[in-house]
Amino acid sequence: MAEFTLELNDDQKQVRDWLHGFAADVIRPAASEWDEREETPWPVIQEAAKVGIYSLDFYAQQFFDPTGLGIPMAMEELFWGDAGIALSIVGTGLAAVGVLANGTEEQIGTWIPQMYGDADDVKVAAFCSSEPDAGSDVASMRTRAVYDQAKDEWVLNGTKTWATNGGIANVHVVVAVVDPELGSKGHASFIVPPNTPGLSQGQKFKKHGIRASHTAEVVLEDVRVPGHCLLGGKDKLDQRLARARERAATGGERVKNAAMATFEASRPAVGAMAVGTARAAYEVALDYAKTRTQFGRPIIDNQGIAFQLADMRTRIDAARLLVWRASWMATTGKPFESAEGSMSKLYASETAKKVTAQAVQILGGNGFTREYPVERMHRDAAIYTIFEGTSEIQRLVIARTLSGMPIR
């Protein structure tokens, strides 16, 4: 296991510079167009696939970086380019992680390649958990999966919402209730293979930011999937449900929630996206402040502007350190005793919102127009305090973890 260091090694620097080049040369120049079009930027995803950035191999390499810094570094650079396009590039990873975390080796080998397609025919995947009445409160999920033993098929019914790539995905990963008595312990994840009858796209949302990323409802009407599409397999599910029922019946001690542990490990990646957006806006603001002249001097000559930039940069660096710490902890198997994963996401996402707002202010009227990218970055940053657990939910998780109290 590599020792923790804040200095990137030569390989990491090379990957970072390569990603930065792609973000600067391909993503950033396309950002405004796809934001206006509010469509999935297929040509950019294809370009990313051609150079090897849109592929499972690439994410696996970053994921298995023994320092833990591969994923946050990659996310920061891609989202520095543009958040909407970058989410279109990494959104498939959400579904892929769902399969990697819960699937058998066979399921991983069968479905993940179909999530990405190949450079000549790129595909995307969607992870569908949220529902109209089950956002933060995942336990109130209603989408049902019922086993049809005679046919060895699962039948899925319900409506999912806010699904990134929902309806346009080749492969959908759907979380559904298999035992309503067990709350979130009675959930399981299913693969819905390409072109399965009964799955359709509902409303496509018109959004405030990250508009190049497709977000939509997914409607499931008597969707039948083969038994082998249950992630992890039926035996494992039956064992897990039996344990949960026994605990519910005996009031036995709660085991540590595996989903919470997964979130702690995945949230720093969202924090890193936020750091990328914040850094992008800060850089534009710094350049502008050095060149924009008012009252006969660059506006950065005023402490009111210079100190804001000092604060922006300090917050960004602090956010990155929290993200790197949490990613390092996840990779090296350190327990998140103080919810450090949630801390990193909370701080980085709020940093992105604050810093992008400051950048708009520093650019004055220009900051308010679509001629300059900070307006878009400010809209994009608003997502980070909402998805993958809102800021309020992060605070709840941190407070409960620190206190051991059932804070509501």
Ligand X SMILES: Cc1cc2nc3c(=O)[nH]c(=O)nc-3n(C[C@H](O)[C@H](O)[C@H](O)COP(=O)(O)OP(=O)(O)OC[C@H]3O[C@@H](n4cnc5c(N)ncnc54)[C@H](O)[C@@H]3O)c2cc1C
Which residues does the annotation mark as catalytic? 388
CB closer to ligand X, 88 vs 164: 164
Please name the residue that has the structure tokens 């600067």: 24
Which segment (74-82, 104-112, 156-164, 233-241) binds ligand X by CB under 6 A? 156-164
Distance of closest approach, residue 150 Cβ to ligand X, in angstroms: 31
In whole angstroms, what separates CA 68 from the centre of its chain?
A: 17
How far is it, in rounded angstroms, from Cα 212 to Cα 197?
A: 27
**How far are the Cα atoms of 73, 156, 268, 294, 349 from residue 389, in angstroms, in the given order?**
21, 25, 12, 42, 11
Please name the residue that has the structure tokens 């800021």: 391
CB closer to ligand X, 128 vs 305: 128
CB closer to ligand X, 96 vs 284: 96
Based on the shown chain and the rule CB under 6 A, indicate whether residue 130 belongs to the binding site for ligand X: yes
One character per residue 191-210, x = contact with ligand X (rule: CB under 6 A): ----------------x--x
Based on the shown chain and the rule CB under 6 A, indicate whether residue 135 belongs to the binding site for ligand X: yes
120: amino acid identity, one letter: D
| Strands annotated E in 180-328 | 187-192, 199-204, 215-226, 293-294, 297-298
CB closer to ligand X, 292 vs 395: 395
Site for ligand X (CB under 6 A): which residue of 26, 128, 141, 374? 128
Which residues make Cβ contacts (< 8 Å) with residue 328, sequence separation at least 6? Answer: 4, 67, 68, 69, 334
User: Which two tokens mark 33?
Assistant: 């167009």
How far is it, in rounded angstroms, from Cα 133 to Cα 54?
A: 33
Based on the shown chain and the rule CB under 6 A, indicate whether residue 396 belongs to the binding site for ligand X: yes
Q: Are 246 and 252 in contact, with CB atoms under 8 Å apart?
A: yes
Based on the shown chain and the rule CB under 6 A, indicate whether residue 392 belongs to the binding site for ligand X: yes
CB closer to ligand X, 55 vs 349: 349
Site for ligand X (CB under 6 A): which residue of 193, 361, 390, 400? 390
Based on the shown chain and the rule CB under 6 A, indicate whether residue 262 belongs to the binding site for ligand X: no
Within residues 81-120, the interface with ligand X by CB under 6 A covers: 94
Site for ligand X (CB under 6 A): which residue of 34, 59, 79, 127? 127
- Which among 236, 175, 224 has a CA at the least distance from the CA of 198? 224
Q: Are 150 and 166 in contact, with CB atoms under 8 Å apart?
A: no
- Which residue minimizes CB distance to ligand X? 135
Based on the shown chain and the rule CB under 6 A, indicate whether residue 140 belongs to the binding site for ligand X: no
Q: By the criterion CB under 6 A, which residues form the site for ligand X?
A: 94, 127-130, 135-136, 162-164, 207, 210, 215, 383, 386-388, 390, 392-393, 396
